[in-house]
Chain A
Amino acid sequence: MPIDFYASRKTTRIYIFSILVMSIFIKRILLFTFLLLGIIVLTLIGVSSLDRKFTSFKLQNNPKHIVLGHSQPECAFNDHLIPSLKNLSQSGDSYFYIYFKTKEVIIQNPALEVVFIEFTDNQLNMNENIWGNKYIPYKYPKYSSFMSMTDKLVLFKNNPSAFINVQSLSLKMKLTRIIKNEVYFSNDFGDYFYLERDKTDSLVDNISSLEDEFSTVENGVSEVNLSYLDAIIKLCKETVKSYFDKKSASQKIP
């Protein structure tokens, strides 16, 4: 059957040719992808190192005491009334992010003597506040320049898509700050927050919606958060005194 023989040879030739062409296509696409990824990684590294140089954690008026924690100490300690104290607490802060803040603040403020660390029951289960979809875009861009690869891997392992998505936002925020020359931005890391009573009531009224927001990540005891608490304590032991500021968690607000 010579005709079938030629037909099958032709089909095989087309098949091999198309496989070869496809391989070239895939190689080029891969080459382009690696080139792009390389440029992105280099840009991220370059901008992060610039950001480290630009960002100042130097506190005004050389305070001797600082308070760290989440929304509860943030609203509790009015640093305008207490002399030589700076409240650096911020809503949603977990020990994971507090660690990077503490490290830089201690290095850049040698006058510092005491660090008060908030210890509330809900700091035990802070996974959502570390890598939850809502918190990563809010916290990561601020501290990413001061994180090591190991710290970043913690986020990547637990929420890869949010971690990848936040890279561009982080790059944009850092670039904007560098271009605008916004060197000093300690208020972005935390400050005393004056609570208006009527706003508190409206928050409590909407408690069900708040609970919904806290359900995206499995929220058992956060070993990651506790390990970073250990790291904060070790860090403080070297230069300053640290005290726990124990608070009982609200019955309603998680």
Chain B
Amino acid sequence: MIFNSLDFAIFLPIIFIIYWFVANKNLKLQNLIIVIASYIFYAWWDWRFLSLILFSSLIDYLVGLSLSKQDDETKRKQLLWISILVNLGFLGFFKYFNFFIDNFTSAFSLFGTEISSNSLNIILPVGISFYTFQTLSYSIDVYKRKLEPTKDIIAFFAFVSFFPQLVAGPIERATNLLPQFYKKRHFDYAKAIDGMRQILWGLFKKIVIADNCAEYANQIFNNSSDYSGSTLALGAIFFTFQIYGDFSGYSDIAIGTSRLFGFNLKQNFATPYFSRDIAEFWRRWHMSLSTWFRDYVYIPLGGSRGSLLNKIRNVFIIFLVSGFWHGANWTYIVWGALNALYFLPILLTKKNRNHLDIVAKDKRFPSLKDFWLMSFTFGLTVFAWIFFRAESLQHAIDYIKGIFSGSLFKIPQSLTNDTMLTLLLICFFIVIEWLGREGQHTLSQLCRIEKRYYRWCFYLIICLLIFMHQGKQQEFIYFQF
């Protein structure tokens, strides 16, 4: 089931009413409803893969319980490895098996040895990268004694499969989400209204911005050899907004939906395209994944401490792993490496924590310096996204060559009235994001207008824009990761 579908529009109110009106007095029943709803939500896509979630949840639940009873460090380590191997084993098989087989075969053929390989026709279970990381964080935190293992199996299963964030995050830590399943939840009007606002803005990002940009980005990337440099540059910009609208839109809907049920999920995006350097960008983009890698990979490796060589190694490892997490293709790895190259000079000159505050705080406009820094960082990001979107490395290289050809300064070929309308919508989107950049989410700040009449007019305009653009339904990009 996807958020921007009629199915979900029917599913959500039904679950909401059962959850609050039928099970309001009973916490266990509420948790059970969440588990059932989450499994229905997932099974809507393919019920067979529910067994993976169930198995993964059961293993981590049992590992958690065993860890609490075990004091012997060697045995504790063994238990942790069981959890890691099971979770990463599933992930590795479903996501990376064919990639490794194909690359293995190619590597052998480079040395003149032809080996026959049988890549399998494997379906990638939706959301496997997300829930695997979520359950892994539980086992690691219990192992490190940062978290008491839960005995409440329903609460744990609800934590792993919580439907708003099951298939595309945010990747929640057990330390944040799990305790929320133990506490009695009361309906909070202000929280629910704010959740609805966040859902509305998420739908706008997905349907109006991402799906519109996707149409042009797909057209330009799929026929890149036919277009001029300026059109290719425009295609890369369209993709930049597509991926942001798509993924942050999903996160907004997920966080908003959770708030309707009385849960607080962590912020996943904080207007990343207003960043003044790459370090700031990575503090604001897919924050739940960045902090996961920081806490479970980067810091255990030594982080930014140690020798210069160690620092460089750690930065490359975290960005390459992050790239590889996105998909089994060299394009993602190069995308990760490119970001590492962007990040390294900032880290080595110790400027990575220069921009911790929000840009132009309490001001209407940015300073010229901030504007230049934002534009420069945005340019670097757009360039890196080309690798992320391209079908292969060769495609990315040809695309970049195409951009920097003589036709870069020609008027783009695909500038039709519809394209201009999409560009106008992007401008509107940037303005609203800028105005709401200091809030927890874009509309939280912006909708503090006193008069309800003005607020409702604004919501109605957003709803009408969503309605006008809802015909071109495209799947969320991050489902494939």
Contacts and interface: CB of A to CB of B under 8 A. Distances in A.
Given A18-B187, A168-B467, A29 B196 contact: yes
Interface string B437-481: 000000000000000000010011001100111110100000000
Interface string B155-169: 000000000000000
A135 B478 CA distance: 29
Given A161-B6, A171-B468, A19 B24 contact: yes
A19 B17 CA distance: 11
B313 interface: no
B298 to A, nearest CB: 42
A22 B21 contact: yes
Contacts of A29: 196
Contacts of B186: 14, 18
Nearest to A11: B25
Contact of A21 (B25, B187, B459, B467): B187
Contact of A22 (B20, B456, B464, B468): B20
A14 B188 CA distance: 11
B111 interface: no
Interface residues of A, number: 29
A134 to B, nearest CB: 13
Contact of B471 (A11, A15, A25, A137): A137
Given A22-B21, A25-B187, A164-B6, A32 B471 contact: no
Contact of B189 (A14, A24, A161, A176): A24
B192 interface: yes
Contacts of B460: 35-36, 39
A32 B461 CA distance: 12
Nearest to B192: A25
Contact of B24 (A15, A35, A43): A15
Contacts of B356: none
A25 B464 contact: no
B193 interface: yes
B456 A32 contact: yes
Contacts of B459: 32
A253 interface: no
B470 A165 contact: yes
Interface in A135-173: 137, 160-161, 164-169, 171-172
A161 B5 CA distance: 9
A15 B25 contact: yes
Interface in B177-203: 186-189, 192-193, 196
Interface string A220-237: 000000000000000000
Given A18-B186, A36-B463, A25 B193 contact: yes
Contacts of A169: 471
A98 to B, nearest CB: 24
Contacts of B6: 160-161, 164
B49 to A, nearest CB: 24
B189 A168 contact: no
B226 to A, nearest CB: 21
B189 A25 contact: yes
Contacts of B25: 11, 15
Contact of B468 (A18, A19, A165, A168): A168
A21 B329 CA distance: 50
A36 B469 CA distance: 15
A40 interface: yes
A25 to B, nearest CB: 5
A166 B473 CA distance: 11
Given A40-B467, A165-B471, A22 B196 contact: no
**Best-surrounded residue of A14, A18, A19, A24 (most CB of chain B within 10 A):** A18
Interface in A23-55: 24-25, 28-29, 32, 35-36, 39-40, 43
Nearest to A172: B468
What DSSP secondary structure best describes chain A's contact surface?
helix
**Best-surrounded residue of B25, B193, B464, B467 (most CB of chain A within 10 A):** B467
Contacts of A171: 467-468
B200 to A, nearest CB: 10
A24 B188 CA distance: 11
Interface string B17-38: 0001100110000000000000
A178 to B, nearest CB: 14
B456 A18 contact: no
A166 B467 CA distance: 10
B422 to A, nearest CB: 13
B437 to A, nearest CB: 26
A75 to B, nearest CB: 28
A168 B471 contact: yes
B466 to A, nearest CB: 9
Given A36-B463, A164-B6, A19 B189 contact: no
Given A15-B24, A32-B456, A166 B463 contact: no
Contacts of A24: 189
B189 A21 contact: yes
A40 B464 contact: yes
Interface in B331-384: none
Contacts of B196: 29
Contacts of A166: 471
A53 to B, nearest CB: 22
Nearest to B459: A32
B471 A18 contact: no
A124 to B, nearest CB: 30
Given A25-B187, A29-B196, A19 B464 contact: no
Contacts of B468: 168, 171-172
A29 B189 CA distance: 12
A18 B24 contact: yes
The 7 A-B pairs with the shortest beta carbon distances in the complex, nearest first, are: A169-B471, A18-B187, A21-B189, A22-B187, A168-B471, A18-B186, A161-B6
Interface of B: 6, 20-21, 24-25, 186-189, 192-193, 196, 417, 456, 459-460, 463-464, 467-471, 473
Interface of A: 11, 14-15, 18-19, 21-22, 24-25, 28-29, 32, 35-36, 39-40, 43, 137, 160-161, 164-169, 171-172, 176
14 contacts: A14-B186, A18-B20, A19-B21, A19-B24, A21-B188, A22-B20, A24-B189, A25-B193, A43-B464, A137-B471, A165-B471, A167-B467, A168-B470, A168-B471
Given A32-B456, A36-B460, A172-B468, 18 more contacts: A11-B25, A15-B25, A21-B188, A22-B21, A22-B187, A25-B189, A28-B193, A36-B463, A36-B464, A39-B460, A161-B6, A165-B470, A168-B469, A169-B471, A171-B467, A171-B468, A172-B471, A176-B417
